[in-house]
Structure 1
Amino acid sequence: MAKWCKIYLLIFLLTINAACSSSPDMQKKAGTSETFTPAQKVKILFLSISDSDVRENIRENYIKANMEKEMPDIEVEYDLGGGGQDYASKLKVYNSSGNMPDVWFSEQNLSAVVIASGNALDLAPYIYKWEFDKKFTEKEFIMPDKNGRIYSVQSGNDRFTTPRLWYHKDLFKKYGIQVPATYEELLKVCGQLNEKGIVPISIIGRDGWTLNLHLLQTMIMSEDPQVALDMLNGATDFTNPVIKRSLERIRELVLAGAFPKNAVNIGYEPAINMYTSGSAAMLAAFSWELPKLEKLSPDTDFMPWPSSRAGTFTKDAVQYWGAPLSGYMVWAKTKNPEAAARFAMYCATQDALYYNIESKAPTMLNTGVRIENTSVLAKKNLEQLDMAEIKVPSIWSAAFNTRTSAEISIQNSKLLTGRYSPDEYIRVINPLWIENAKEIREQNCDTH
């Protein structure tokens, strides 16, 4: 994992020093349409995530806005699938029916099921035909599987995306609150904020979202990052004392009033708005929210997640989002595989353009955009990510299969009520995880 430090730094420097500007002409060069001659319009059904401002912005202001110029031969019908478990359920229904959208975005825990069902198109022939693989600054990111197949394409921004604990500097200063460095100090700060009538930490509670995607893993890593790595390799289970203590700490935060009282019902945007409106002092969310938070709350900063064990420094070990099979996929039985494959690569490129232009963030897919005028906070975020000695992929996206991820959403939702014990949680989830871990070990054996 340590090698990612050097890789990330190199990618960041290459992106910053790219020769092209972000002019409108750049968007054409970044796509795949230069190698295709427009003909009669081909209809594509696209299942799109639609649960956040980021995904809405990408779809409306990049994918839709550039279609006529970049893909004049394609007519897209947009199926807005929501997000979280709603999106997962919709994709599962499509997969079970065998009648899929032509193109969709999938996280790895859903991708594996679609691939096993024979519903995913191998994109490798099209990727190599149009040399799309050469657009990536890190070739490992678009490597084929052991059978030479590539089932998904994405921007590669995920490698630069990490969960952060954001906070209002002005509010902390107003009440004389010190930034907590330990879990015990965090509990104390939550108590101080509650006394002032301020929600300590806003989270996306619906379907256990924040716990699912990063908080449980973050809490594990705040005590022992090796346990998170063991989870990724299927080498431990939920009875591990570190994992049990992590669940206990989350429940303790719930009972201490660290999260909103109705957190289990709070969706994505309401959770972000609770922070940007000043109703919450802190926000547990990914770094992809940075541009929005800076714009709406200029006093925003982030802190390393407070350590749960003496000698564990959370700056040294960070989680990053994403997994090899996360990305845009194409239905194996689509009537127009070439057009659908081009559209999938186009979507990945538009994602990258959004992150390069709007977020001023690097991606592994090189769009030719020169990133300039990066904010102090964005630089700090990337520098800390770069300097971390241990970088751990998301357990949720890289390790959990669909059964485990679906059940853990239920368990995390129950944990957020404060009336559900870690022992009950472990008793339900561990049998599923043991089977999941076995699959991981078998896959690792096949790979090596």
Structure 2
Amino acid sequence: MDDAAAPALGPLAGMKVLDLSRVLAAPWATQILGDLGAEVLKVEQPGKGDDTRGWGPPFLEDGSDRPDAAYYLCANRNKRSIAIDFSRPEGAALVRRLAAEADILVENFRTGGLAKYGLDAPALLAANPRLIYCSITGFGQSGPYASRGGYDFLIQGMSGLMSVTGRPEGEAGEGPLKVGLPVSDLFTGLYAAISILAALNHRTRSGEGQHIDCALLDSQVALLVNQAMNYLVGGEVPRRLGNAHPNVVPYRDFAAADDYILVACGSDGQFRALCTLLGREDLANDPRYATNAGRLRDRRRLELEIAHAIAPWRAAELLAAMAEAGVPGGPINTIDQVLSDPQIIAREMLQVMRRDDGTEVTVIGFPGRLSRSPASYRLAPPRLGQDTRAVLATELGLSEAEIEALRAAGVVAMGGPMRQDSEAERTA
């Protein structure tokens, strides 16, 4: 769809978001806002843009000599790209003018990193008191680690997440593991989007904007949930359990005759139904296993019995029987399998979009279903700087001659590499 023709849709239609971020946590937050209808202007460094544009292969083949990586495409739909070098005074002035008209600004520079350009929260809130300014960093705006850079892998380790992820001691392949997705980044992006929506509601009541401080470490610690509460209440440090659950039994993977399956019995009734299905009513009737607390105490013995009962079954046949009996279970899908799953297809979770050059890109859609104001898919992830000229003309009222002078001076770009990185790109 042509940018100029993209209609304003969704519950955030009319909201203007200035996105000074890159990589994943903050772009994830701004993509959520864009999916919900906000107009998102992604400010990128001329000549390079978001780091993730180069995080491939794979790359989206579009016939150009500089295609975008799949990683970039996952977090940047429903945005327009404007390439401005705000390490230059003229570029910083352009961004300040855009911020003066914005409802929301999101950035993920190191703490204090934007102050030298006059783009920090105090400066921009003074000029636009209704602005909601969201900073996303590894460790937040305060505390002894505030000046450090934060990366998902480090946060997964520092937060305790990796201490409860992986095979337990004494098993083959033992040791801590990170989650197979950058969940600390993604969780922080979600918390940032939630916080921004809360701040919008506050502004509706009060008329005032505010500064939001979101940290990867804080977000991941908040999501230790039951594991942290187990320690706070029980005093025992949680440990790695592989695919087993720290509080519920049986709740793990088991090997069937031809594949692994998942069993997730969350109640005594479901456990009894599983035992009946497996022909092991004796386990259901054993007083040691009558309650979850008992099953947890005798976890190892019980799980071995269940494993022996499951082993002769073919995975598909057992899962079908479990569904019929009301026992929660499922397969361990590969990515290609889940993306072709009939449930995912029925829910329209895959959306085909078309970039301004005609190249098609399939994206995974927004999961929330709003009955009155649904998410929309208006703009495919943009090419670097593809909207610079249009935004400068329509949002700031610059003439063609003024835009061309900025381009000639290297302050802005309409796409394509510059000879060297700017100061802002080098110090991000």
For the superposition of Structure 1 and Structure 2, which TM-score range results when normalised by the shorter chain? under 0.3
Taking structure 1 as the reference length, what is the TM-score of the superposition? 0.23
Determine which structure has greater relative contact order: mean sequence separation of CA pairs < 8 Å that are 6+ residues apart, divided by chain length. Answer: 1
Q: Which has the larger radius of gyration?
A: 2
Higher helix share: 1
